[in-house]
């Protein structure tokens, strides 16, 4: 499982995908989510605005599992 550091209470799914370098721009998130399977805490997710908290687990088909980690 890969951990991604965030410095806020949460990160949106679209922002997380961009931070993982799966997207060049945030605007590509909608298309990415329509073409790729993503699960948040085991549930399918297609909303780029879904808030992802440090306790959440995100699984991205073809990439792996990611969990945000908050600094401080």
Give how far Cα 5 sits from Cα of 2, 11, 15, 42, 49, Å. 10, 10, 12, 21, 18
**What does DSSP assign to residue 28?**
G
* All domains of the chain in start order, with CATH: 2-70 (3.10.290.10)
Express each pLDDT in 53-65 by its tens digit.
Answer: 999 999 999 999 9
pLDDT tens over the chain, length 72 residues: 999 999 999 999 999 999 999 999 878 999 999 999 999 999 999 999 999 999 999 999 999 999 999 986
């Amino acid at each position: 499982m890969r951990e991604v550091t965030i410095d806020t209470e949460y990160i949106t799914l679209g922002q997380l995908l961009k931070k993982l370098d799966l997207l060049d721009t945030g605007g590509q998130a909608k298309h990415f989510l329509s073409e790729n399977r993503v699960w948040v805490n085991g549930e399918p997710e297609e909303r780029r605005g879904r808030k992802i908290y440090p306790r959440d687990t995100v699984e991205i088909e073809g990439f792996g599992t990611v969990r945000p980690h908050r600094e401080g």
